[in-house]
Structure 1
Amino acid sequence: PAAPAALSGCAAPSALPSAPQAGQPGPAVAQATPDYPYAPCGNPPVKLEKQAQEFLNQLAAEDGTPLYDLSYAAAREVLDKLQSGPVDKLPAEISERTVPGGPTGPVSIRVVRPPGITGPLPGIVYLHGGGWILGNAQTHDRLVRQIANGARASVIFVNYTPSPEAQFPVPIEQAYTVAKWVAEHGGEIGVDSSRLAIAGDSVGGNMTAAVTLMAKQRGGPSFRQQVLLYPVVDARFDTPSYNRFADGCWLTRRAMEWFWDAYAPDHAVRNQPLASPLLATVEQLRGLPKTLVITDSDVLLDGANAYADKLRSAGVPVTNRHFAAITHDFMMLNALAGTDADKAAVAETTKTLREALYGKEKAKAGTK
């Protein structure tokens, strides 16, 4: 069968499954035919939710050009197109501004707040995925709105410079600049700087882990919680999950190698803990904020679990949640909106953030 598309490699398909609208059931699994293949997820394959398998089948049927054979600009258009279809989104109040003092100049941010709430809210610094190359405020708009509404917090979305235009450590220095600014000037954007968390998906999870390490090394800011959504934690490609899911589903080993080559072409720097948090010592991890790790069926699974275990060894409170019947990026991809995994993972993420930022009793009561 043809390889699944987009992050595994294929070009933007022409007829992607749309995200289900409110009150509508998701699509059924397509039957394999010579012109419409079944796209297995892993070797041996895992059994996916119907909506996820339909998504992979349609991508496989397109059999397009792998991302890593496209220009960076063309590759970015693949994800932009993939995320451009109609999908239900929660309401939000959105503003844009820049933060001074980044390593290469001011850093752009988007502030996303639940609507109709006056006064300061807790803040969540958010670092997006997309292999350091792809992704932006639009591709992650639905997910960020869900987090803001569910956590009753302002999400500060960092528009870090993508790779290869910026390479390690510039993007994480930009992210740290924003986090430090929010801690010192949060009132300028309606954020209570005493209640901060940080979160990110995929390579954004890598950057989240890096920023918490930087904050420890540099004496702040302080985060009540970090959330790592199917994170990249090191640059080794030989774990059992990398072997099982080498050809996908969705995210392949070859795509991850391409992402790393854009972000950290100097292989020597990949061994630094700020590039590969899994390589941090237990002592370096000690005292980091309590952590939620969400995983799925992808090449990154074993690394994420190993990082969670290492954090526990350092005395950090860690919660793991694994969603076996779904693919990488499932919380971000609009085509997978409303899957059982998506709904449960968003609920877990927002509950965790709400309780960290408000306290369990106040979070239950829905009050500040």
Structure 2
Amino acid sequence: MIVNPRSTVLEPATQAFLAKTAALPQLDSVEPAVGRRIVDGWQHQPAVVSDVWFTVASAAGRVPLRIVLPPNLGGRLPVLIYVHGGGWVFGGARSHDRLVGELAAHTGAAVVFPEYALAPEARYPVALNQICAVARWVFAQGARHGLDTTRVAVGGDGVGATMAIALTLNCLRHRDMTVRQFIGFCPITDASCDTESHRTFSRGYHLHSTTMRWCWDQYAPDGVNRSHPAVSPLHTSMDELARFPASLIVTAEADVVRDEGEAFAAKLFAAGAPTTAVRYGSVIHGFVVLDALCRSSPARAAMAQATSALTTAFGS
């Protein structure tokens, strides 16, 4: 069989996942509390990890903070501040338990996981301010808790990657908050939702274009300047991007936000920032996060690539 190179051919696990979930409602059609229970089921495989919890004070309220520890502790641990996705409305420790456990185990790092306040109850800039407060706590207090604050990376998936980019930019403005590596899985970088991938994959590929627009409305409603770089990182100036740390940008072929993620990577390249950008074919948004897809070849490869980037950054 000859396959049209312009067509989208999904790998088997993705096909099975989409078939199984085709009749389920999109998250924008249910109450947030219901959607949160659905998203908490994204990861149900047990993560054999140890963790500790803290509460960090911020001007935007107190922030629960989970630190997931690697199995083999020895000396001060490098740090990955990981910001979860879920459209700003959904997600948390349960929805990302397996993923952060794997990142800790594979990299030997302590994964710092902020349980930021969710929209629509908390809108921009509450969550971002809370995440920045957590980062300040890491750099100021982390050494007291066995963390090596000279070896810090930042990462996230989906809207978590959006805020992780904004966090990294914030760290660049502070000489005592050095970030060695950025990791972005399927990053969302532009509120306009006006790209070819939004049109090509608008329905039927897990994350619908209408759902993404709804998520933006929950987080940054009318009155918020959505073109501000802290909201839409694609609008970040080239001068700031030139100072961005080494970055790995992972996108998925059949994803409405693919093009904006790749456009952000292109700006990093143009600014001269050390960047690796990879589009994984045959998969959908969240392919690294979803348990149903985490053992697929693309997900395993993306995790291996992220692990390699992080261990290189921590070891240098």
TM-score between the two structures when normalised by the length of structure 2: 0.94
Question: Aligned to 2:226, what secondary structure does the other structure show?
Answer: helix
1:306 maps onto 2:306 in alignment: no
1:124 maps onto 2:80 in alignment: yes
1:230 maps onto 2:190 in alignment: no
**Equivalent residue in structure 1 for 2:279, among 303, 322, 331:** 322
1:295 maps onto 2:251 in alignment: yes
What's the Cα RMSD here?
Answer: 1.5
For residue 200 of structure 1, report the CA deviation from its aligned partner.
0.3
For residue 245 of structure 1, report the CA deviation from its aligned partner.
0.7
**Equivalent residue in structure 2 for 1:55, among 5, 10, 17:** 17
For residue 164 of structure 1, report the CA deviation from its aligned partner.
1.0
Q: Distance in 2 between matches of 1:116 and 1:46?
A: 42
1:46 maps onto 2:8 in alignment: yes
Aligned residues: 310
For residue 198 of structure 1, report the CA deviation from its aligned partner.
0.4
Q: For residue 178 of structure 2, what is the amino acid of its counterpart?
A: S
Q: Distance in 1 between matches of 2:152 and 2:42?
A: 32
Q: Distance in 1 between matches of 2:81 and 2:42?
A: 25
Q: How does 1:104-123 map to 2 (within 5 A)?
A: 104-123=60-79
For residue 267 of structure 1, report the CA deviation from its aligned partner.
5.4
Q: Is the 8 A contact 2:88 2:215 kept in 1?
A: yes
Which ranges in structure 2 are unaligned for 5 or more consecutive residues?
1-5
Q: How does 1:117-266 map to 2 (within 5 A)?
A: 117-266=73-222
What is the percent sequence identity of the aligned residues?
36
Q: Distance in 2 between matches of 1:191 and 1:253?
A: 40
Q: Is the 8 A contact 1:248 1:298 kept in 2?
A: no
Q: Distance in 1 between matches of 2:24 and 2:205?
A: 15
Residues 1:45 and 1:134: Cα distance change in structure 2 (over 3 Å): farther
Q: Distance in 1 between matches of 2:288 and 2:120?
A: 25
Question: Aligned to 1:308, what secondary structure does the other structure show?
Answer: helix
Q: Distance in 1 between matches of 2:129 and 2:105?
A: 28
Match of 1:334 in 2: 291
Can you list the C-alpha shifts for 1:152-183, whole angstroms capped at 9, x where unaligned? 10000011101111111111111111111101
Residues 1:306 and 1:150: Cα distance change in structure 2 (over 3 Å): same
Select between 318-327 and 265-274 the one with higher mean Cα deviation: 265-274
Can you list the C-alpha shifts for 1:76-129, whole angstroms capped at 9, x where unaligned? 112123434xx354x3221111122x1222211111111131321101101000
Q: Distance in 2 between matches of 1:266 and 1:216?
A: 29
Q: For residue 75 of structure 1, what is the amino acid of its counterpart?
A: G
Q: Distance in 1 between matches of 2:102 and 2:42?
A: 19
Whose Rg is larger?
1
Q: For residue 77 of structure 1, what is the amino acid of its counterpart?
A: R
Q: Comparing both structures, which one devotes a greater share of its residues to strand?
A: 2
1:75 maps onto 2:35 in alignment: yes
Q: Is the 8 A contact 1:121 1:152 kept in 2?
A: yes
